[in-house]
Amino acid sequence: MSLLAALCYTFNILKLGLIILPLVLNLVALGWAIGLLTMGLILRFGQEAEILAWALAFLFMPVSAVFYPVEVLPSLLRKIALFVPSAHAFEGMRQVIIQKGMPVAHLLWATGLNLVYLLVSGLVFYRAYKFALEKGVIPKIGE
């Protein structure tokens, strides 16, 4: 994708430097948290819960500030976006591109929220895995 962006739009992500790496890692961490939560729900409730994998991504998208800044959201969604790590990551990327500075506040918020989300989703997955082992439902998943 970076190669296509460079060829088609003369956008070189490498010009941003390593400052962008922690923000990208926060996006990856949020993906892990959503993945763990989804897997835990599938282990606990079966294949019917698989729809949540798609629903969670769609629920996060409007408040993640991917295509537009958080400040253009309605006030209720702006408040929700404060608790979404991807919103802080994308706002931090905007700050890097526009102001060429280190987005410390956004980076700290995204990292802190991701730690909480990873802990919670890890606990949900662990409990669901224990439940699945006790009930013997793992071999039945996917039938």
Burial of 96-107, coded b for 16+ CB within 10 Å and e otherwise, reads: beeeeeebeebb
Number of domains in the chain: 1
- Domain span holding position 95: 17-140
pLDDT tens, position by position, for the chain (143 residues)?
777 877 888 877 777 778 889 999 999 999 999 999 999 988 888 877 788 777 887 888 889 989 899 999 999 999 999 999 999 999 999 998 888 788 899 999 999 999 999 999 999 999 999 999 888 877 665 55
Let me know if residue 124 belongs to a domain: yes
Let me know if residue 50 belongs to a domain: yes
Angle between helices 21-45 and 51-60 (to 10 degrees): 150
Let me know if residue 70 belongs to a domain: yes
Query: Considering just the CA atoms, what is the radius of gyration of the chain in Å?
Result: 18
Let me know if residue 97 belongs to a domain: yes
Give yes or no for a contact between 99 and 85, defined as CB atoms under 8 angstroms apart: no
Instruction: Give the span between the Cα atoms of 99 and 91, in whole angstroms.
Output: 12
> Tokens representing 29?
């961490």
